[in-house]
Structures are given as structure tokens and as C-alpha cells.
Structure 1
Amino acid sequence: MDLRTPQTANDPVRTPVRRLNSEAPWDAFDPAAYVDHNYGSLRSDDAKILEIVRKHFADHFRDSPDHGGERLRGIDVGAGANLYPALSMLPWCGEITLFETSTANVAYLNDQRVSYDPHWDQFWAALCEQDVYARRVADPRADFRRAVTVERGNLFDLRRRPAGWQIGTMFFVAESMSTSEAEFFLAVERFMEALAPGAPFAAAFMEGSLGYKVGEHSFPACSVSAADVRKSLSPFAEGEEVAITPIGMPGGALREGYEGMIVACGRRGSE
């Protein structure tokens, strides 16, 4: 799930209590409150993330045109109530799986798949600053509807699925689902194992997160740094090369209890 929170700035940040992913109340997640707080308007941090990710994917497919126009299979792991990671893959994908564990978020995603809400247009417009997006996608709602499938599942179970997604994203998931460092590293491993060799990927992380509230419910987080992100991704990346970009808090903090955001881009290495 994409788990940045609608917690207000004056809420106290409690000392984190150890909590595993399986112990958190994911089905009680409130996508309406979450989207209203996070995505009603395009924040400067999301704009920076979109800038980095759109360039990464555009550069990859310009420099590695191995698929000869073939439409790819993409996956957004832990999609939550955030559509822009999937939109970032849309020009190159014939299929995009939105893989999500919360029943509430699955319902939201299925509703958005039919015709997503107007506030997502500003995110698409930001992607279109890289001209390949507008050039390859004349009608993003129609292409989104055709390409997207929503699948409920636990990311730890991805190993049971045949690997082979050819492009992938995972935004604010691995560090925002558990206080366990071991579960953080395992979540990243499962994401990377789901991708085919050579697949471009983009991932985003909350830096130094101490946990958060969504509505009346508290959710766990694992405090990670840019070094932790590199350590988690490098063993699975092409040549162990991952571009790590800390973006801090442009425009101010989204909430209390974190130190910034981190974007990571690279390619899945060969088996």
C-alpha cells in the first residue's frame, strides 16, 4: 500500500511500538481520507518524484528499445490509493497489475479503473512534461481502463507467482508496513524478484518514518535511510547500480514523524 498518512501536523508522534505487517489493520484503511489529504492537489514532493520517474522510464526505453514496440506487462506493488505509479508506466504497458492487500483500497482501485477522478489529471499532466507520455497515450483514461487489473494479495506471497513483469513500481510500501527491518528487506526482495531480468523499476520510500495514523487507526513503519534503500535494492539490480535520490521535504512536511522522501530507480539484474 502507498501509506503516507492524513495525520495532521499537530498530532503527537509516539514512540514506535514493534508491529509486524500481519498485525496492522489494513482492511480498515480509509482511501477517501488518504486521497483527500495526499492527492487533492499536486504537492511539490510528488512533482519531484514524477520528474525523476518519468525521466528514468523515458531514458530506459529510448536507450534500450529491445521490445520493438511490444506492449509490456507492468506491476505496481502495494498500489494503495495512489494511481500515479501506474500512470508512470502507462505508455509502455498493455497490462498493469495493481497488487494490493487492503480490501478498502482494492475497492477504490476498481472504481478508479473504470474512470479515474479528475484530480489525477494534474499528475498525468506532470508526466506529460516528458513528451513520450502525450505522444504514446492519446486518451489516458481509456488506456488505463484497458490496461489495468486490480489484484488483491500479500506482497510476501509474490514469490509463489511466476516472475516476469517487465516494468515495475513500489511506492511507500516496504518501509510503511511494519516496524521490522527484516520485513522491510524481505518486501524489497519480493518486489525485485517479481521483475524480469532487465526490467526498469522505480521505488519510493519515506525516510526515517516512525509510524502514522490513517483516520482512527495507527500503522507501523520502519525507519530507513538512503543507505538502507541502496542496501536493499543493490543485490537485485543490474550491475548493482541504483540511482538513489533523497528529495527531502520540498514544500514542507506532509506530516510529523519522518525526515524526507527517497526515490530509487534502476533495472532488474540478470538471474
Structure 2
Amino acid sequence: MAGNSAYGWDAFDSEAYLNRNYARLHNEDHKILKIVRDFLCAQSFDVGARGVDVRSGSNLYPALAMLPFCSEISLLEFSEANRKWLSGRLAKGYLGNWDIFWRVLAENEVYRAVQGPGEQLRTRATVREWDILRSTPDERWDLGTMFFVADSITTDRAEFTTALRQFIALLKPGAPFVMTFMENFSTGNFNGYKVGTRTFPALDIVESDVEDCLSDLINGREFHHIDPAADDPIRDGYVGMILVHGHTK
């Protein structure tokens, strides 16, 4: 068992991760985008709502999914390499490879109403250093996302639980949230995944692991299982993805 601190997160290869996972739209992400889009469009948000995405890495589509609803979006990231990547990409103010992800969201008129989503994201998003396992919030957000984080930063189940509960603690009571996970992810004899030349940890989990950690903190939760594409899996050694959305208590 290896905890989060055992890995070289500041040397995370953000471009390699982007190219492996988000250079094109995978079938699984297409399904996730549609579920998230429909869930968020069914919510009510106050003017000036603030969103947060935890350990964004080189994945911008959770932030894009929040764009129509939030005047500010905080991207909380632990890795120095990922913070530099996020700041550099946002500064360019265009979508690039994210256009195809945005088009899925823009099948709904709420997203189509956003003029210049790349520029809007540049002006609304702020990258902040944050350790989801140890940092203590002095503020709370109105909407939150955490995609493929709690199960992909450690092999320690106690840290997995801490990450989930710390994420919920970032949100105001009644706030909508979305989280995703790899289900039963393992490669060979080592639970983990490679980014460039480095290996990072992963924890085998199932839906009940998430439910057990959060049942006392959330309401109206709904789980979705996304099967891997048989001919084009994003990674080897997993049986699917788990998406859960709901509201904090």
C-alpha cells in the first residue's frame, strides 16, 4: 500500500496525460458529458454562483460543464506541473481539442447561449494550489466536480475516504456535485497507471465504496455505470466507470 505522498506529482507529465486521454473524445467521456450536462441543466443556480473542480489535471471538460452556471470557477490542483499546464492553457483563451467536448455540451441550448466558451473559461477560471487530503477550506462553493481523483491519487483506502469527504466539505449545503471513478481498476500486479515514464497509484473500488463513504453527507444521489468501449478502452484493466451526482446535505 502506498499513500499519495509517495509519488512525484510535481513531475506529472500533463501533456502525455492529455494526449492519452483527451486528445480526442472517447466513447466513455461522451456518455459522461451527456449525463453531467443533463444533470446540471436540471438544477437551479443563483446569479454569481461559484464552481470548483478538484485536481483538474489536464482535463478541462468538468470546468466547461460548469461554465453556463458559474461566474467564477476555481481549479484546485496539487501538482505544480498540472498547475503550470492549466495556467498556460487557460491563458490562450481558445478551446482547441476541447471543441469536440464542448459540442456535446452545446447540444443543450443552455450551453449554446455561452458566447466564446474558451474566452469565457479564461476569464472565469482561476488555478489554485490545493491538497485535497490536507488543505482546510475557508470558503465553500455552490457547485463542485471531482473527476477520477479519489481513486487515482493513492492505494490507501483511508486516503480515498478522506478525499471524498474533503471534497464534500468544499461545498455549501444543498450544492449539486458530480464525481467520477474508475471501477475495479488494476494493471498486472500493481494497482496504478503510467503517465509518460512514471507510474501513479490507483485503488480498486466499486460503487458501494463510494456509497459507504458518503451516505451521511449527501442527498438524492444517483449512480451511473459507464461500460468501456470494447474496441477502444481508455485504459487496460478496468471494468467501467462510475459517475455519481447528487446534492450535499
TM-score w.r.t. structure 1 length?
0.86
User: Number of paired residues?
Assistant: 242
Deviations 1:86-142 (A, max 9, x none): 00000011110000011111011001111244110111111111221112x111012
Contact preservation (8 Å) 2:53, 2:144: yes
Counterpart residue number, 1:20: 3
Alpha-carbon offset, residue 151 of structure 1: 0.5
Deviations 1:11-65 (A, max 9, x none): xxxxxxx11001111111111111111111111100000010001100112xxx5
- Structure 1: state its 5+ residue gaps: 1-17
Counterpart residue number, 1:247: 226
Matching residue's letter, 1:127: L
Alpha-carbon offset, residue 215 of structure 1: 1.1
> Separation in 1 of the partners of 2:38 and 2:60?
18
Counterpart residue number, 1:203: 179
Give the RMSD, CA atoms, in angstroms.
1.2
Of 185, 195, 204, 2:161 maps to 185
Tell which deviates more after alignment, 221-230 or 84-93. 221-230
Fraction of identical pairs, as percent = 41
Alignment of 1:50-89 (within 5 A): 50-61=33-44, 67=46, 70-89=47-66
> Separation in 2 of the partners of 1:107 and 1:80?
10
Counterpart residue number, 1:266: 246
Alpha-carbon offset, residue 262 of structure 1: 0.7
Of 10, 19, 32, 1:49 maps to 32
Deviations 1:203-229 (A, max 9, x none): 100111221111111111111001112
Contact preservation (8 Å) 2:95, 2:118: no
Deviations 1:221-260 (A, max 9, x none): 111001112222322112xx31000112035321222221
Q: Give the ranges of 4+ consecutive aligned residues of structure 1 lying more than 3 Å apart after TM superposition.
A: none
Alpha-carbon offset, residue 157 of structure 1: 2.9
- Structure 2: state its 5+ residue gaps: 187-191
> Separation in 2 of the partners of 1:32 and 1:194?
28
Of 86, 90, 97, 1:119 maps to 97
